[in-house]
């Protein structure tokens, strides 16, 4: 692997504070003083209780959201505006519904002004790689949940970004489809080892996929409270690896660190629900 | 939803068409019987014939128009007015809608005026347009545009506002510039709203054309009706109405065809089929 020691993405003392609308100067700090480094070619998962600000952190890394304080460096250079070296896979359906699967895959290349013939060829390759070569003319609403995710994956990867930002991309899928997608992701990733930041609330998914798992505290002002190196051998099969003793060991260890935060997060949502009711 | 769907399904398509025809036939039969001294008194028949016309004479008039070819010139004028008003109104609504939706300052500035102009009964502008643009085709097109514009404008405005932020961010992350965002995200989203209002806006363009003709013209179906009315020729008035109605239905059908062509990407109810 080239430049294994290089840092692809560095978040330095990031804080994100939102001002609550119309609430007399009340503010909400989503992310509090987070420092995170992703090495070149590293697959890092970020886990944390629901609603703790994981997505906010990812949006900062993508340049979609400007941090209130702190700095982001991408491949050594400070980030200004959108992160052009990153591909982003969203939790919700983000395909353009008025474009066919093929046109969705082609979109990024077209934005970049790549010649039509090359766009077509590369899109055909990617459609083949995700097993949708015969369904390129279908519109997103005619595709199943798993197929939509695969198109979204191809849409992102066709641009060959150096960094992948993935925000709970498979959380809406049923468990079987999800494991299939996880394996597919690992296979695609192992081909050229991009740097990945993978957000999830599913600890098993995080361990099965990653080189490193970062645990975030419950919100508000979420920050990393633990880091675990996952030394499971690759290539992995996400179904099989869950049964190995080392996996169980890591799971117990990380879950132990997470438990208090999950309970805290749960108590907060309970309280919020009670206030709303 | 499912329950009402099931209830609809009890009548098959062919049968429904038959019932539609029978209902229409029944209306004509009743109309005919009421205006003929067969079942009712001669005096009553004469009165109803004066107010409602006689269906056979009405149909004969329609037949005459088409057989002699006299109607085509007028239909063509009305059609041209409708299409021009629809085209320009839509283009204008699309342009202004996109502009105001993407520029909060302009939108805030224009808001009360847009509201006022929309609230105004715009048919009243017809005489003014007649003064400005004469009695030809232009004044009708202008009236149609004022009717179509607002429908399209509000739909475009809504369409742009309702663009999914996720889709928008996705396009931005894929590298879309401002112009590309407009072309690949905002306009398609707005167009889907415009198309869903297509039936209404074509109908409004038609209303503009006919009302304009009715208020002063030398050609057009509205003008034919006005002339017949002046001569108390109730049969011709009804013949004009029949032709206009059939014409409106044809326009509506054409819109449906266009809609299905252009909105293939939108899920129709119950069409989604996972592989």
ipTM of the complex: 0.87
Does a structural domain hold residue B157?
A: yes
Does a structural domain hold residue B275?
A: no
Write out the residue range of the structural domain in which residue B14 sits: 10-52
Q: Does B188 share its domain with B160?
A: yes
What are the tens digits of pLDDT across the range B181-196? 999 999 888 888 888 7
Does a structural domain hold residue B271?
A: no
- Provide the pLDDT for residue B268: 65
Using an 8 Å Cβ cutoff, are A210 and A236 in contact? no
Structure tokens belonging to residue A105? 């895959």
Q: Does B90 share its domain with B165?
A: yes
Q: Does B59 share its domain with B42?
A: no
Mean pLDDT of chain A: 88
What are the tens digits of pLDDT across the range B201-230? 888 899 999 999 988 888 899 999 999 988
Question: Is there a contact between A82 and B170 if contact means CB atoms under 8 Å apart?
Answer: no
Q: Does B27 share its domain with B91?
A: no
Considering only the beta carbons, identify the residue of A94, A142, A144 that sits closest to B170. Answer: A94
Q: pLDDT > 70: what percent of chain B? A: 93
Look at residue A9 and tell me whether its pLDDT is greater than 90: yes
Q: Does B45 share its domain with B160?
A: no
What are the tens digits of pLDDT across the range B74-103? 999 999 999 999 999 999 999 999 999 888
Does a structural domain hold residue B270?
A: no
Instruction: Give the integer Cα–Cα distance in Å for B234 and B239.
Output: 9
CA distance B270 to chain A (A): 11
3-class state of residue B209 by DSSP: helix
Does a structural domain hold residue B1?
A: no
Report the range out of B58-62, B102-106, B122-126, B266-270 with the highest average pLDDT. Answer: B58-62
- Provide the pLDDT for residue B218: 86
- Provide the pLDDT for residue B272: 46
Nearest residue in B to A87, CA atom: B173
What are the tens digits of pLDDT across the range A233-267? 988 998 899 999 999 999 999 998 888 877 877 77
Look at residue A3 and tell me whether its pLDDT is greater than 70: no
Question: Is there a contact between A96 and B176 if contact means CB atoms under 8 Å apart?
Answer: no
- Collect all residues with Cβ–Cβ distance below 8 Å to A41 and sequence separation of at least 6: A1, A4, A8, A193, A194, A195
What are the tens digits of pLDDT across the range A134-155? 989 999 999 998 899 999 999 9
What are the tens digits of pLDDT across the range B21-73? 999 999 999 999 888 888 888 888 888 888 888 899 999 999 999 999 889 99
**CATH number of domain containing B255:** 1.10.3720.10
**In B123-233, alpha helices (H):** 126-133, 137-161, 165-173, 178-181, 187-196, 198-215, 221-230
CA distance B2 to chain A (A): 20
Q: Where do the CATH 3.40.50.300 domains begin and end in chain A?
A: 7-85+164-276
Q: Does B104 share its domain with B223?
A: yes
What are the tens digits of pLDDT across the range A94-140? 999 999 999 999 999 999 999 999 999 999 999 998 888 898 999 99
Mutate to test the interface with A, among B159, B183, B265, B269 (most CBs of A within 10 A): B265
Confidence of residue A24 (pLDDT cuts 50, 70, 90): low
Total domains in the fold of chain B: 2
Mean pLDDT of chain B: 87
Question: Is there a contact between B177 and A155 if contact means CB atoms under 8 Å apart?
Answer: no
- Tokens 């993508």 belong to residue: A62
- Provide the pLDDT for residue A76: 87
- Angle, in degrees to the nearest 10, between helices B137-161 and B126-133: 120
Q: Does B23 share its domain with B92?
A: no
- At residue B44, φ and ψ (nearest 5 deg) are -60, -45
Look at residue B6 and tell me whether its pLDDT is greater than 70: no
Contact list in B for residue A100 (CB cut-off 8 A) is 265
What are the tens digits of pLDDT across the range A192-227? 899 999 999 889 999 999 999 999 888 788 888 889
Confidence of residue A11 (pLDDT cuts 50, 70, 90): very high
Q: Does B44 share its domain with B154?
A: no
- Angle, in degrees to the nearest 10, between helices A116-129 and A145-157: 140
Question: Is there a contact between B175 and A144 if contact means CB atoms under 8 Å apart?
Answer: no
What are the tens digits of pLDDT across the range A29-77? 888 888 999 999 999 999 988 777 888 999 999 999 999 999 999 998 9
Does a structural domain hold residue B3?
A: no
Q: Does B221 share its domain with B163?
A: yes
Question: Is there a contact between B174 and A107 if contact means CB atoms under 8 Å apart?
Answer: yes
Segment (H or E) for A114: none
Look at residue B122 and tell me whether its pLDDT is greater than 90: no
Mutate to test the interface with A, among B173, B188, B191 (most CBs of A within 10 A): B173
3-class state of residue A51 by DSSP: coil
Using an 8 Å Cβ cutoff, are B181 and B237 in contact? no
- Provide the pLDDT for residue A2: 41
What are the tens digits of pLDDT across the range B146-179? 999 999 998 898 888 888 899 999 999 999 999 9
Q: Does B23 share its domain with B123?
A: no
Considering only the beta carbons, identify the residue of B170, B185, B265 that sits closest to A90. Answer: B170
- Provide the pLDDT for residue B179: 92
Does a structural domain hold residue B71?
A: yes
Q: Does B38 share its domain with B160?
A: no
Considering only the beta carbons, identify the residue of B180, B192, B267 that sits closest to A111. Answer: B180
Q: Does B38 share its domain with B142?
A: no
Superfamily of domain A7-85+164-276: P-loop containing nucleotide triphosphate hydrolases (3.40.50.300)
- Provide the pLDDT for residue B3: 47
Does a structural domain hold residue B63?
A: yes
Segment (H or E) for B51: helix B42-52
Instruction: Give the integer Cα–Cα distance in Å for B226 and B209.
Output: 13
């Amino acid at each position: 692997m080239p430049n294994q020691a290089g840092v692809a993405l560095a978040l330095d003392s990031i804080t994100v504070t939102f001002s609550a609308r119309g609430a007399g100067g009340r503010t909400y700090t989503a992310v509090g003083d987070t420092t995170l480094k992703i090495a070149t070619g590293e697959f890092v998962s970020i886990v944390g209780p629901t609603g703790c600000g994981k997505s906010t952190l990812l949006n900062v890394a993508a340049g979609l959201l400007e941090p209130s304080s702190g700095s982001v460096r991408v491949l050594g250079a400070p980030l200004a505006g959108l992160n052009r070296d990153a591909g982003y896979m969203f939790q919700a359906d983000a395909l353009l519904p008025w474009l066919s699967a093929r046109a969705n895959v082609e979109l990024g290349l077209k934005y970049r002004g790549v010649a039509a013939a090359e766009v077509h060829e590369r899109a055909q390759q990617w459609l083949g790689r995700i097993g949708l070569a015969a369904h390129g003319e279908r519109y997103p609403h005619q595709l199943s949940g798993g197929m939509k995710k695969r198109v979204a994956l191809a849409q992102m990867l066709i641009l060959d970004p150096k960094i992948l930002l993935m925000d709970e991309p498979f959380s809406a899928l049923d468990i079987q489809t999800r494991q299939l997608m996880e394996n597919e992701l690992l296979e695609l990733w192992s081909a050229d080892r991009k740097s990945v930041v993978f957000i999830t609330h599913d600890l098993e998914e995080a361990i099965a996929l990653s080189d490193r798992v970062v645990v975030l505290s419950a919100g508000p002002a979420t920050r990393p409270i633990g880091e675990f190196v996952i030394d499971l051998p690759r290539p992995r099969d996400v179904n099989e690896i869950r049964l190995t003793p080392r996996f169980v060991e890591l799971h117990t260890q990380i879950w132990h660190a997470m438990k208090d935060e999950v309970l805290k997060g749960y108590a907060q949502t309970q309280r919020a629900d009670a206030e709303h009711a | 939803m499912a329950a009402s769907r099931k209830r609809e399904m009890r009548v098959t398509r062919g049968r429904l068409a038959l019932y539609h025809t029978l209902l229409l036939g029944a209306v004509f039969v009743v109309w005919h019987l009421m205006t003929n001294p067969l079942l009712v008194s001669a005096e009553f028949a004469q009165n109803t014939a004066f107010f409602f016309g006689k269906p056979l004479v009405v149909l004969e008039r329609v037949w005459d128009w088409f057989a002699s070819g006299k109607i085509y010139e007028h239909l063509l004028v009305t059609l041209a007015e409708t299409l021009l008003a629809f085209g320009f109104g839509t283009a204008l609504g699309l342009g202004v809608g996109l502009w105001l939706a993407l520029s909060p300052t302009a939108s805030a500035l224009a808001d009360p005026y847009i509201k006022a102009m929309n609230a105004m009964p715009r048919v009243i502008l017809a005489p003014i347009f007649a003064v400005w643009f004469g009695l030809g085709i232009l004044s009708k097109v202008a009236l149609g545009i004022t009717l179509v514009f607002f429908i399209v404008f509000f739909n475009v405005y809504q369409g742009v506002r309702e663009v999914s932020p996720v889709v928008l961010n996705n396009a931005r992350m894929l590298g879309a510039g401002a112009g590309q965002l407009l072309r690949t995200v905002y306009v398609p989203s707005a167009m889907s709203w415009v198309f869903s209002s297509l039936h209404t806006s074509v109908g409004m363009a038609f209303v503009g054309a006919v009302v304009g003709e009715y208020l002063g013209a030398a050609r057009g179906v509205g003008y034919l009706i006005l002339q017949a009315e002046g001569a108390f020729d109730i049969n011709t008035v009804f013949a004009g109405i029949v032709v206009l109605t059939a014409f409106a239905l044809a326009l509506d059908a054409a819109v449906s065809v266009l809609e299905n062509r252009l909105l293939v990407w939108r899920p129709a109810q119950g069409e989604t089929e996972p592989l």
